[in-house]
Amino acid sequence: MKSKIERKNQKAASAKAKQTDKTVAVNKKAIFDYFFVESIEAGIALEGSEVKSVKKGDVSLRDSFCHLENGNLELKNCQITPYSKVGAFAPDPRRSRRLLLHKSQIDKLASKAAEKGFTIVPVKMYFKGRFVKVEIALAKGKKNYEKKQVIKERDISRTAEREIRGLNG
């Protein structure tokens, strides 16, 4: 016979296994414009109505970036559309939002971002359990010829896939 504690732990483990991370927004422009050197998961400080908007998927990470301010890492220019039923006290949709990281992680990112050509960009926003998380990456900008090379390789692979499907179909 299992004890109460063992059954409780088993239920908690199965509940954790059922939880899936729900991706809310992806910064496709950053994926195209940068090489990612290192990525880190960070929490984000949001107001209650903003969390409801994030759950609905009213988030845009396009043109957003991370900036170090007073020892804190902040997410700038991230669009979170105000929740429709919030009333008169809706927060600014493009306000700066604090990213929650350990001091050592912030110092490490700041020292690497200070090097020439490096920046910190948000890659995606998602739910992990009941918390909203942002994946940020230390990134190095791509040159125009590198972007064109990526497009060329993608087109070649697409045409090859089409030809393979045409032969098999």
Q: Round the average pLDDT of the chain to a whole number and report it.
A: 85
Q: What angle do CA 70, 77, 154 make, to 5 degrees?
A: 120
**pLDDT for the residue 17:** 47
**Section 41-45 average pLDDT:** 93
Phi, psi of 63 (to 5 degrees): 65, 10
pLDDT score of 149 more than 70 = yes
Is 140 within 8 Å of 112 (Cβ atoms)? no
pLDDT score of 3 more than 80 = no
pTM of the model as a whole: 0.74
**Residue 32 burial (10 A CB sphere; 0-12, 13-18, 19+):** exposed
pLDDT score of 158 more than 70 = yes
Per the model's pLDDT, the better-predicted residue between 120 and 166 turns out to be 120
**Number of C-beta neighbours around residue 161 at 10 A:** 10
- Helices within 19-115 (DSSP H only): 28-33, 48-56, 103-113
pLDDT score of 161 more than 70 = yes
